[in-house]
A and B are shown apart, each in its own frame.
Chain A
Amino acid sequence: MDPSSSGIQEPFDLIRLSLSERVFVKLRGDRQLTGILHAYDGHMNLILSDVEETIMIVEVDDENATAGPKTVNVAKRKMDMLFVRGDGVILVSPPSRT
């Protein structure tokens, strides 16, 4: 019962196949990263280079507090090299392979 598409045996294979590729990383705290994956380990600690971090800052209007978040500010910053501690990682997506 091999998965039809590719020879992925375990989830970490997805990460291994993404080494040296640009990956998308979703982090806790409404943060996202894109960067080139250089290394990872079993904790999902990551080493990324040429990183852009996107931080979603939700400002709830006082008057509309019950109507849900209305204002979303996006902050971005770039970093040359980054170590990401694994426990902050929610999702990693490799570049789309077709």
Chain B
Amino acid sequence: MEDDNSPPPPPEQQPPPPPSHTGSPTDFLKGVVGKRVIVRLTSGVDYRGILSCLDGYMNIALEQTEEHVNGVVTNRYGDAFIRGNNVLYISADEPL
């Protein structure tokens, strides 16, 4: 049987354009310095703020930091140093 009833090709529902930032994890980290980030600790606590800088241990300095526990703001810090061993991930909170 001719397959002229084959399903149409998928419409131009193309995947979103590839992220403009490809590269190593280090490139990502360099890219987010100075940007708003979400830092999640292994305890599940989130810190949202502006990433001032970080080092090779993933120690982090944040500005205008909000501490979120279960989605609720529990503390605010003008500056915060986070010891790197507690970090689970760093997520960009604004377009790079």
Give chain A's interface residues, CB within 8 Å of chain B: 1, 3-5, 8-15, 24, 44, 86-87, 89-94, 96-98
Give the Cβ gap from B26 to chain A, nearest Cβ, in Å: 14
Interface pair B77/A93, CB less than 8 Å apart: yes
Q: Is B55 in contact with chain A by the CB < 8 A criterion? A: yes
Interface pair A11/B63, CB less than 8 Å apart: no
Knowing A11-B60, A11-B61, say if A3 contacts B79 (CB, 8 Å).
Answer: no
Tell me the complex Cα distance, A87–B53, Å.
Answer: 21
Closest 10 CB pairs of A and B: A96-B78, A11-B59, A93-B77, A11-B61, A92-B81, A14-B81, A14-B61, A3-B52, A93-B80, A89-B83
Interface pair A14/B79, CB less than 8 Å apart: yes
Tell me the complex Cα distance, A5–B52, Å.
Answer: 9
Instruction: Please give the number of chain B residues whose Cβ is less than 8 angstroms from any Cβ of chain A in the complex.
Output: 24
- 14 example contacts (A-B, Cβ-Cβ < 8 A) are as follows A1-B34, A3-B34, A3-B53, A10-B59, A11-B52, A11-B53, A11-B54, A11-B59, A14-B52, A87-B85, A91-B47, A91-B83, A93-B77, A98-B78
Interface membership of chain B positions 34-52, coded 1 if the CB is closer than 8 angstroms to chain A and 0 otherwise = 1000000101000100101
Query: Which A residues are CB-close (under 8 A) to B63?
Result: 3, 5
Q: Which of B43-94 contact A (CB under 8 A)?
A: 43, 47, 50, 52-55, 59-61, 63, 65, 77-83, 85-86
Interface pair A1/B33, CB less than 8 Å apart: yes
Interface pair A94/B83, CB less than 8 Å apart: no
Tell me the complex Cα distance, A18–B9, Å.
Answer: 62
Tell me the complex Cα distance, A10–B76, Å.
Answer: 21
Interface membership of chain B positions 15-47, coded 1 if the CB is closer than 8 angstroms to chain A and 0 otherwise = 000000000000000000110000001010001
Query: Which B residues are CB-close (under 8 A) to A89?
Result: 83
